[in-house]
Amino acid sequence: EVQLVESGGGLVQPGGSLRLSCTASGLTFRTYDMNWVRQPPGRGLEWVSYISTSGSTTDYADSVKGRFTISRDNGKNSLYLDMNSLRAEDSAVYFCATAASYFYDMNGYPTFDNWGQGTLVTVSS
């Protein structure tokens, strides 16, 4: 059974920092691109960041670029999100998700097929 378990969330003051972790089991972690997705309380899903299988390619939503850093350790089956200069609007449940291509009609279609349960980050003084 595939499991993704996030940790590291909590209460932090504006301007502070936090590191989120996502530990994977039941899958060959090094073969999956990974993503972070967040969801502010009572609101919709927002893609936050992406990292390729090797970690050589990353991307970020404009709302977090320059403040957040995604990384991974394939030897530890772990994904990380370092969050700096946190703002109130960063308060959300943060999910990690695998990205896998599902094939249909001879094309590969990327999907987020496995998700963790989420970890809550609250930025408040």
Residues in contact with another protein by CB under 8 A are: 33, 35, 37, 44-47, 50, 57, 59, 61-62, 95, 99, 102, 104-105, 107, 109-113, 115-118
Report residue 113 as tokens: 């097929």
User: Least separation, in Å, of the C-beta of 95 and another protein?
Assistant: 6
Identify which of residues 43 and 125 has a Cβ nearer to another protein in the complex: 43
3-state secondary structure of 30: helix
CA R_g for the chain: 14
From CA 42, how far away is CA 27, in angstroms rounded? Answer: 31
User: Least separation, in Å, of the C-beta of 41 and another protein?
Assistant: 11
Report residue 30 as tokens: 């090094």
Identify which of residues 29 and 94 has a Cβ nearer to another protein in the complex: 94
Q: Are 34 and 51 in contact (CB under 8 A)?
A: yes
Identify which of residues 85 and 111 has a Cβ nearer to another protein in the complex: 111
